[in-house]
Amino acid sequence: MSWYKKAFGEDYLLVYSHRDDEEALGFVRRLIEHLDISEQAAILDLCCGAGRHAVQCATAGYRVVGVDLSAPLLARASELTRGSSLPIQWVQADMRDIPVKSEFDLVLNLFTSFGYFEENEENYRVITGIHEALKPGGRLVLDFFNPRLVTSSLVPFDKSTINGMTVTQIREVDWQAQRIIKHVEITRDGVTKKYRESVRLYDKADLVWMMLDAGFTVENTFGGYTLEPWVESSARTIVVARKKI
């Protein structure tokens, strides 16, 4: 089974429960203000996870579709909006096969939800699929880590207690495959579960090239969630690209 089909379940929600809505709210607000998005805009949150960013967009009044492959994460997202009148829809789908075409004004792919697939062609297929999902003139915001910073500051091992669980994480770089790999062991009530995460090390130039080749123009690149300009030492690589009209 592919690692991403196993990793994003109930344990993932517990291990990463410290991620708060305030960070998501601040980032979405700054992003929407910067992009000057129309009040009638339709937004796709691709790989929406448990829905933090999608809910913030819907709360701001936009029509939102959240797409993710993980049934447990979508179930949690659905809990967030159950009984509300928010203009939001949750859809289970593979990021390579977005089930809509030419519908969205903005596609968000946030928090390193890219580079999962072993073959470059499959990752590139995500970019071309996003291009097809956007209306002419629509924009993509892709938020990825900066591989230079991640590999230079890699913490190879850590162990912690989170929500009553012992969580051990081992990180390594496979330079031949150009991937960062994390092995996660979660022990709870004497039972240990093991997960593996593996993400391609795409640098800024790689991401920009894929977008240009897919038919986008690149408008801007930010280095973090406060939308500061990108520099070599930035924590994030946030690329804003537009589908040509």
Per-residue pLDDT at 163: 82
**Residue 13 · residue 73 · CB < 8 Å:** yes
Question: Among residues 90, 141, 144, 151, which one has the least CA distance to residue 116?
Answer: 144
The CATH superfamily label for domain 3-146+202-243 reads Vaccinia Virus protein VP39 (3.40.50.150)
Rounded CA-CA distance 159/33 in Å is 39
Per-residue pLDDT of the chain (245 residues; tens, 9 = 90+): 899 999 999 889 888 776 666 777 788 889 999 999 998 999 999 999 999 999 999 999 999 999 999 999 999 999 989 999 999 999 999 999 998 888 999 999 999 999 999 999 999 999 999 999 999 999 999 999 999 999 999 999 999 998 889 999 999 999 999 999 999 999 999 999 999 999 999 999 999 999 999 999 999 999 999 999 999 999 999 999 999 98
**Residue 88 · residue 117 · CB < 8 Å:** no
> What radius of gyration, in Å, describes the C-alpha atoms of the chain?
18
Ranges of each domain in the chain: 3-146+202-243, 150-198
Rounded CA-CA distance 95/46 in Å is 7
Per-residue pLDDT at 20: 62
Per-residue pLDDT at 18: 64
Per-residue pLDDT at 133: 97
**Region of residue 33 (phi > 0: left; psi between -120 and 50: alpha; otherwise: beta):** alpha
